[in-house]
Structure 1
Amino acid sequence: MTFSTLHYYCLFLTVITISPARSFCLSMMAATTKPPRRIVVVGGGIQGTSVAYHLAERPEVEQVTILEAKSPASAASGKGGGFMARGWGDGSPTQRLHELAFDMYEQLAPALGCTSYRKLPVLSVSAGYKKGIALARKNPQLASILPNWLDGDEYGRISPLGLGDDTAQITPSEFVEKMLQAKSDKITVVLGTCHGVETDQGSERGNRKVFGVKYAPRGETEEKMLAADAVVVSAGPWSCAAEDWFLGAVQLPMEGVKSTSIVWAKPKNEDVDATALFCGEDDRFGTHLEVHPRPDGTIYICGIGGSDYISTDELKAGAFREECNAKDTRAEAAKNSFQQMSSMYRTDGELDRVQACMRPCPPDAIPYMGAIPGYEGAYINAGHNCWGIAWAPACGKAMTELVMDGQSRSIDLTPFDPSRFTPAAQRGGRGRKKKGMSVGEQW
């Protein structure tokens, strides 16, 4: 039986709704579909690079091209804290992402040669009660993990959030760099801005098949094309532009939360103990600090407050993609708040840098992970909120399974359906254009 004959036989079985035969037929069709060999990943942050890395692990993949607007890890992946916690899931569908990614980091980071990965304890610290440190030092469990730099007197109750068995950190930019180095034989980074996809009639009735990705090289205006059998959109908050690339086949509402963070330089002649802090609201400064010491002796601090909220339309237009400026007033508030907690940094501390980045937030705070309806070879992996760095290895693995095998085995992607905000009648948007030309019929 030829593929064409099999195809029409399957359509016949579908019409008469014979479930066992239809299931068998679909399985046979899937077996005859060749997995993609040339794949473009739009976005060079830790999520996009993780997808590219895991795709490059597959022997049947010949080439993975990362299309990145600025440079790898130039946005949140170059500025985020890199904290992860295996057991901090809330019972929602994302809990499995916490667990799988944490375990994968434990294996991948040493294998890739990452020096910034380590497990570390975590404390909860509240503000406004000056005897907190004295009480904590009397508690043997707490005393063993109190960091040397937590020596001020302007904070209150201290309690453990993690003892270092299921909490860890990594510097995300290093992880991105190491993944690219490890798969340099298969992964190519192209700098440019994505303009959309090129498609042709697919093998299934009503679907369009991706055969290329349109882009303008960085610093140029002339449009070019990257040949591709499949595309994975993984461009953080700017991934919502895919609404237009796929002609309205899917709606991807997104809000960018633009936040300031600071990094303290390593104090001279001082070691910096490895304990992270999650602090309560400090009404004096309008902060709720997250404090993350790193192996290089710097301390990264976020939770500064005063975030800006960027709309879907602004993100589609590329808002803050090229330059994302910090708020000096919020950086000063964070500095003052932290110095109340640490006399070491109050007397000898110097800021290394002040920065800002965005996290991508769908309306339900659940990521978009799955296939674009109405298209063959089109996928999205975006909207991971504040956990994008922590979940990256699991997302890369799950998306690779979906792209190459037709289904993710490691993660149930059903709750992350990219079409969940798209009206049923609108999903797919099939056949409205062919290579940019309107055809006026449903394929």
Structure 2
Amino acid sequence: MKFALQRRPLGSGRKAVAFVSWSCLLHTTTLAMTVVPKNVVVVGGGVQGTSVAYQLALRTPASTTITILESQQPASAASGKGGGFMARSWGDGSPTQGLHELAFDMYSDLAQTLGCESYRKLPVLSVSPGYNGMKAARKNKDLAKIIPGWLDGTVGRVGSMGGGEDTAQITPQEFVEKMLEHQSRIQVVLGTCWGVETDQGSERGSRKVATVEYNPKENPAEKKLLPADTIIVSAGPWSCAAEDWFHGAVQLPMEGIKSTSIVWKKPEGNDVDATALFCGEDDRFGTHLEVYPRPDGTIYICGIGGSDYVSKEDLKEGAFREICEANELRVAAAKASFQEMSSVYKTSGELDRSQACMRPCPPDAMPYMGSVPGYEGAYINAGHNCWGIAWAPACGKAMAELILDGESRCVNLTPFDPARYTPDAQRGTRGRKQRGNNVGEQW
């Protein structure tokens, strides 16, 4: 059964798509005639935005221009500082389950296609703070097989969260870079989006995307335009600025969570076994560490605690978009917490770097994925919370299907409607009215 996920304007070149309920056994969906965009602009060069651009490049002719508009550089925010952990079955029973499953399978194939050296499956342990837990854990033959050699300090209870069949990792920055190398027709323009120009749409009161307005990075005072008949806003927490670009046609409540992470260097003369850890709350340090050893021998750690919450108003002003520094107090806490668990890193561990990034959090912790009401060629793909990296390939594929086919067939996007917080009276109603009818307005 296919789900019709977004209703398109009747005059948009696609046939109207009927909505169906989740429990419906029959459906009346009519596949639309494909409308190939001429100029696509993806706002945001992280793993989400690049995945959308990559999937569109796979399915569109060379004549279609695909441009990523990125304020700093590709993978400069969370995608350059995230852990890259993914779990196929950890979304069971929720609307995001399909994203977990599809993306996990796609990563396996894409990593091989793109030549990503950082991708691998790996087992996961749960570890509680405390003492004498390791002795009991090593007596368990199944646990003993996956306990890493560097986990040799004091810990409490140790348990298995998976043997590596449905858990994996990738370094997201490498994945972004490999996608851009593989699809070299994707252009990257460095600059900050500040608006969208539109023309009269095909229906009374509707608008259609015409150009994207931006300030180039090398000269922020200058204003430039990118031709666009299709725009996908995929700029992480800063995507909430699209509320203003589309004049209130969609409301995107968003909060940014700024969190610190650290990366350990590979200890000289020591192997770094591939087992990830999810640690319980450690009241001594205020941490709940997530520990991800990487194929290059480094260890990435997040879950450090002490995150800062950034308001939507500040995000619209670009808070932490250019500079996002680590909280050194939390760096010290994470270092001390991890060294309690590992004498190897306590005696010979050295930090490679400390860093911070932000994740976007809508009120319901669900992403915004779909079209902007009343606008032809305008889409949102943002707000993926802590799973944005893990879901990226599936989100890219789903958005490409929505844009090119009029509906997503691989994932049901209905729960992720970008307009779910927008009052019905505001959806796509920008413009002058004549005798109670929207007649549009040029701007």
TM over 0.5: yes
Matched-pair contact (CA < 8 Å) for 2:100–2:390: yes
The alpha-carbon distance between structure 1 residues 432 and 394, as it changes in their structure 2 partners (threshold 3 A), is farther
Does residue 206 of the first structure (1) align with residue 208 of the second (2)?
no
Deviation of 1:441 after TM superposition, in Å, equals 5.5
Does residue 51 of the first structure (1) align with residue 52 of the second (2)?
yes
The match for 1:87 among 86, 89, 98 is: 89
**Secondary structure in structure 2 of the residue aligned to 1:425:** helix
Deviation of 1:330 after TM superposition, in Å, equals 0.4
Structure 2: distance between partners of 1:300 and 1:52:
28
1:227 alignment counterpart = 227
List structure 1 runs of 4+ shifted beyond 4 angstroms.
Answer: none
Aligned partner letter, 1:401: E
2:387 alignment counterpart = 387
Deviation of 1:245 after TM superposition, in Å, equals 0.3
Larger Rg: 1
Aligned partner letter, 1:46: V
Does residue 369 of the first structure (1) align with residue 369 of the second (2)?
yes
Deviation of 1:202 after TM superposition, in Å, equals 1.1
Structure 1: distance between partners of 2:169 and 2:328:
27
**Aligned residue pairs: how many?**
414
Structure 2: distance between partners of 1:133 and 1:442:
70
1:336 alignment counterpart = 336
Structure 2: distance between partners of 1:359 and 1:218:
23
1:71 alignment counterpart = 73
- What are the within-5 Å matches in structure 2 for residues 242-253 of structure 1? 242-253=242-253
TM-score (norm 1): 0.90
Matched-pair contact (CA < 8 Å) for 1:274–1:294: yes
1:400 alignment counterpart = 400
Structure 2: distance between partners of 1:222 and 1:351:
40
2:271 alignment counterpart = 271
- What are the within-5 Å matches in structure 2 for residues 282-431 of structure 1? 282-431=282-431
**Secondary structure in structure 2 of the residue aligned to 1:262:** strand
Structure 1: distance between partners of 2:304 and 2:126:
16
**Secondary structure in structure 1 of the residue aligned to 2:61:** coil
Matched-pair contact (CA < 8 Å) for 1:287–1:333: yes
Structure 2: distance between partners of 1:34 and 1:122:
44
1:17 alignment counterpart = none
- What are the within-5 Å matches in structure 2 for residues 80-159 of structure 1? 80-128=82-130, 130-153=131-154, 155-159=155-159
Deviations 1:256-288 (A, max 9, x none): 000000000110011100000000000000000
Structure 2: distance between partners of 1:290 and 1:66:
31
Deviation of 1:229 after TM superposition, in Å, equals 1.3
Matched-pair contact (CA < 8 Å) for 1:247–1:429: no
Deviations 1:209-231 (A, max 9, x none): 00111111103111111001100
TM-score (norm 2): 0.90
Structure 1: distance between partners of 2:176 and 2:419:
29
**Secondary structure in structure 2 of the residue aligned to 1:91:** coil
Deviations 1:80-133 (A, max 9, x none): 0000000101411101100000000010011100000000000000112x1110
Matched-pair contact (CA < 8 Å) for 1:430–1:442: no
Runs of 5+ unmatched residues, structure 1: 1-5, 12-22, 434-439
The alpha-carbon distance between structure 1 residues 166 and 441, as it changes in their structure 2 partners (threshold 3 A), is closer
Matched-pair contact (CA < 8 Å) for 1:208–1:431: no
Deviations 1:63-87 (A, max 9, x none): 2100000000000000000000001
**Secondary structure in structure 2 of the residue aligned to 1:252:** coil
Matched-pair contact (CA < 8 Å) for 2:205–2:438: no
Matched-pair contact (CA < 8 Å) for 1:35–1:405: no
Structure 1: distance between partners of 2:402 and 2:61:
14
Aligned partner letter, 1:59: T
Matched-pair contact (CA < 8 Å) for 1:69–1:191: yes
Deviation of 1:207 after TM superposition, in Å, equals 1.1
Aligned partner letter, 2:84: G
**Secondary structure in structure 1 of the residue aligned to 2:49:** helix
Deviation of 1:432 after TM superposition, in Å, equals 5.4
**Larger helix proportion of the pair:** 1
Deviations 1:334-364 (A, max 9, x none): 0000000000000000000010000000000
Aligned partner letter, 2:428: G
Structure 1: distance between partners of 2:274 and 2:355:
22
**Secondary structure in structure 1 of the residue aligned to 2:425:** coil
- % same residue: 72
1:19 alignment counterpart = none
Structure 1: distance between partners of 2:423 and 2:179:
38
Deviation of 1:59 after TM superposition, in Å, equals 3.2
Matched-pair contact (CA < 8 Å) for 2:209–2:230: yes
Matched-pair contact (CA < 8 Å) for 1:258–1:310: yes
Matched-pair contact (CA < 8 Å) for 2:36–2:60: no
Deviation of 1:247 after TM superposition, in Å, equals 0.5
The alpha-carbon distance between structure 1 residues 250 and 432, as it changes in their structure 2 partners (threshold 3 A), is farther
Structure 1: distance between partners of 2:412 and 2:92:
16
Structure 2: distance between partners of 1:346 and 1:270:
13
Structure 2: distance between partners of 1:282 and 1:427:
46
Matched-pair contact (CA < 8 Å) for 1:37–1:60: no
Runs of 5+ unmatched residues, structure 2: 1-9, 16-26
Deviation of 1:151 after TM superposition, in Å, equals 0.2
Does residue 163 of the first structure (1) align with residue 163 of the second (2)?
yes
**Secondary structure in structure 2 of the residue aligned to 1:144:** helix
Aligned partner letter, 2:186: I
Deviation of 1:204 after TM superposition, in Å, equals 2.2
Structure 1: distance between partners of 2:193 and 2:282:
42
**Secondary structure in structure 2 of the residue aligned to 1:442:** strand
Structure 2: distance between partners of 1:227 and 1:140:
61
Deviation of 1:35 after TM superposition, in Å, equals 2.4
